[in-house]
Chains A and B, each alone.
Chain A
């Protein structure tokens, strides 16, 4: 049932701009690591990244004492009919005609038929300061659904399509649930980010018993003449001379520094009917000028009666203006940042006696590769592409060494002092020989291998680390001690390290999903320390083999994001960029 009270605090937040908390995941959208891999193999960019802007109108009212607080969620329909979420807009307060600011990025593949489904919900739960992706859709009120093919939008001249909303499972029946307009634009990858602090003076008072509660909304003018909002500031209560928090705008949001932007100042109303106090049009270059000259620009109020707009006393000032560069994953890699891969192979008894054909470790005399060999080869091809020196530290865990002891981190090469092997072939050879020398034992514990990888990663920090490490754990399954692994991962969570767990065989890998904290639940150690960031990714090989996802895609999916969260939080730049590299 619709709730009575909207989350007013949530409605007052700033929206849009680029994330300012450095540790937030910087991924999302098409993966340039995957793209580079394919391009290097002769497969050119198979898609165009598009941004969808959504506008709803005449939505159904679900809240009792106020209007709905709508959010739009975009899904792609896969071949088997299942829906995969592509992204969500932000939640807008109290409106039946939402103009969402947050865009959804979609990869447009022109040779494929891509069906896009939109679901609109009225958010009833509190959403202030909570990341939108953690909102549980089942708790919200469904407002309507629409669908279309991506090609339908792209082939229209205006790149906009208006769809009627209908209730689920009844597409033909028109039930007057309102409409949704989708506008698509190509994203232009760009590096420049502009930090601005806006201030206003002498704003008009639009309220009776107190002062206005102003906020700014910044929009970009699009080709068809309309405008698309790119961000809004937070609301400052009761103030006619407000100064807002720093806003970060990326060039791909505002286009170019000379593109005119519309800046509107509204008085916030919890009813959702914000009153326009004034607007003006300035490009980013002009805003920079305002900052340099320390002058203000007057707001105007468009008038419907006279042709002339009314110039207001209220002025906009730019108190802070800073242009900085935000680099992509590829910028770092191509500048000399090294990725170093490490491999750990599971030698626990659950794999089955290697002499038996049904064992995951069975070496077929006719040359057919077993699950581990397949995984090493497929994964190896990808990592070899990105690894700088093609020498991989390689370990085994859970096996009994020739001297009789069980080790949870032994060198795959079999030599005490040599923990590295050369190339993917080196890993394959070391693996095969290890099967002769090491007998399978147990239990399945990752902790020591993660600790060893963490040790190597942290030691590299002293040598002006331009290195990022990726540990690949190939395992058949179920961990004996989940907490032990969590401890090791939490301790390693602030290092330049990512852990990719590749699951072979048919075991139940639900534990791995806990470690790959995709739902936002951070790992916690028994001492009270919480993981700084999510450094784990899990890939089940059987899904790869069924063709549902590609190895490349699965492995590299979270890697750019994890890498960027590490370098951006410390303000590290690509290697040869402007002078000395300081590591935080």
Chain B
């Protein structure tokens, strides 16, 4: 199987989400008693993170749990769900959608800690409490450039590549292009 490194810059950003707390959670119109936890999904692939369970927070659980997620550049939003762990399994209490534009892309600098809150809605779409988060976008690592082959280049600059494995031939060492 051939494997090429293509020249891309940033494919994903690292997001630190601290799920702080939730307020006023109800299930079947009654306040939930305990064992709430939150799940944060990137909506791309099946990537998600889960917080600890708050065993005695009741309908106003507090987690203060920091989750780290890699979010692809093209992802428009994160989904945050609150579940309640019961003896018969997990019950979905409410969901909120966090658009990436709410914490990234404005005038606010990267690495700045932002506090955001969202309305949770249950499966029928009725409002069911509020979730409080803090978000920080980590500055992405410097891009890694590579060239796919020492192709003829009319530029006078030296091109440095990284090792490739093409088919069964494995090049050991670095391919360097020379000006023609």
Contact = CB atoms under 8 A, between A and B. Distances in A.
A569 B60 contact: no
B117 A461 contact: no
B38 to A, nearest CB: 16
Nearest to B24: A130
A7 to B, nearest CB: 10
Contacts of B97: 528
A21 B59 CA distance: 17
B113 interface: yes
A461 B118 contact: no
Contacts of A524: 119
B116 A532 contact: yes
Interface residues of A, number: 27
A528 B96 contact: yes
A529 B118 CA distance: 4
Contacts of B115: 23, 494, 532-533, 569
A130 B60 contact: yes
A462 B119 CA distance: 29
A413 to B, nearest CB: 24
Contact of A494 (B21, B56, B116): B116
A569 B132 CA distance: 13
Contacts of B62: 21
Contacts of A459: 107
B173 interface: no
B108 A461 contact: yes
Contacts of B31: 126
A583 B116 CA distance: 17
B113 A129 contact: no
B117 A128 contact: no
Contacts of B121: 528
Interface in B86-136: 96-97, 99, 102, 106-109, 112-119, 121, 130, 132, 136
A452 B21 CA distance: 31
Contacts of B112: 461, 583-584
A488 to B, nearest CB: 13
Interface string B28-43: 0001000000000000
Interface in A1-23: 9, 21, 23
A211 interface: no
A134 B14 CA distance: 38
Given A462-B107, A583-B112, A584-B112, A129 B117 contact: no
A530 interface: yes
A459 B116 CA distance: 18
A570 interface: yes
Contacts of A570: 113
Nearest to B62: A21
A376 B53 CA distance: 52
Contacts of B117: 522, 529-532
A320 to B, nearest CB: 15
A458 interface: yes
Nearest to B34: A9
Contacts of B60: 128-130
A435 to B, nearest CB: 33
A527 interface: yes
A565 B94 CA distance: 27
Contacts of B130: 522, 530
A459 B118 CA distance: 24
B161 interface: no
Contact of B109 (A9, A126, A461, A533): A461
A335 interface: no
A458 B118 contact: no
A368 to B, nearest CB: 43
> Which of B20, B109, B130 has its CB near the most chain A CB atoms (within 10 A)?
B109
Nearest to A128: B58
A527 B57 contact: no
A13 B93 CA distance: 24
B17 to A, nearest CB: 15
A529 B121 CA distance: 12
Nearest to B131: A530
A455 interface: yes
B28 to A, nearest CB: 16
B166 to A, nearest CB: 45
A162 B174 CA distance: 89
Given A126-B31, A532-B115, 7 more contacts: A23-B115, A458-B107, A529-B102, A529-B117, A532-B116, A533-B115, A570-B113
Interface of B: 20-21, 31, 56-60, 62, 96-97, 99, 102, 106-109, 112-119, 121, 130, 132, 136
Counting from the closest, the 7 A-B pairs by CB-CB distance are: A584-B113, A458-B107, A129-B60, A530-B117, A532-B115, A462-B109, A528-B119
6 contacts: A23-B115, A458-B108, A461-B109, A528-B96, A532-B116, A532-B117
